[in-house]
Amino acid sequence: MALRHLLLLIYLFVAVLSLTGLLFRDLSTADGLVLGLPAGLAWVTGWAALTPFVMWAYMRTEPEDADAADGGGES
C-alpha cells in the first residue's frame, strides 16, 4: 500500500474513533473553555478545520489521471 494511502487511513481511523468518543474521551470532556468554546465543541470543530488540509494534501499527491471528458464550462 502506498504511503499516502496508509497515512490517510491512519488519520481517518483516528478521526472516526475520536469523533465517536472511543478515543481521547478525557480531552473531549475536559473542564473549562478552549478558545472560548466548551472542550467537546472545540474538539469537533478542530477536526472539521483540520480535515480539509489533510484531504487537500492527499489530493495533491494523487497520481496524474486522465480524468475523462474534462470538458465543458460552468453552465
Partner 1 sequence: MSAEAQILLVVGAYLALNLFVGWRAARSASDSATGFVAGDRSMGPVLMYFVTGATIFSAFAFLGAPGRAFSTGAAAFHILAFGVLGFLPFYWTGPAAARLGRRKGYITQAELVAGELGFRPLAPVMAVVSLLAFVPYLALQMRGAGHVLEVLTSGAMSVEVGAAVVYGVVLLYVWHSGVMGVGWTNTLQGLFMMIMAWSLGLYLPRALHGSVGEMFQAIDPEFLRLPGGAAQEGERWSWLGYGSSVFVMAAGFSFWPHLFQKAFAARSESVIRRTVVLYPTFQLFLLPILLIGFAAVGFEPAPEQADQVLPHLLLQLDLPALLIGLFCAGALAASMSSGDAILHSAASILVRDGWIVGAKKTLSPEAERRAVRWMLLPILVISYVTAVSFHEDLVGLLSYAYGPMGQLAPPVLAALFWKRATGIAALLGLLLGSATTLAWPHLMPPSDLHPGLPGLAVNAAVIVVVSLMTSRRA
What does the binding site for partner 1 look like in residue numbers (CB under 8 A)?
12, 15-16, 19-22, 25, 28-29, 31, 33, 36-41, 43-45, 47-49, 51-52, 55-56, 59, 62, 65, 67-75
**Which 3 state secondary structure label does DSSP give 38?**
strand
**Whose Cβ is closer to partner 1: residue 2's or residue 36's?**
36
Q: How far is the CB of 5 from partner 1 (least distance, A)?
A: 11
Q: Is 43 exposed, middle or buried (0-12, 13-18, 19+ CB in 10 A)?
A: buried
Between CA 23 and CA 63 the distance in angstroms is 33
**Whose Cβ is closer to partner 1: residue 1's or residue 69's?**
69
C-alpha cell at 63: 497520481
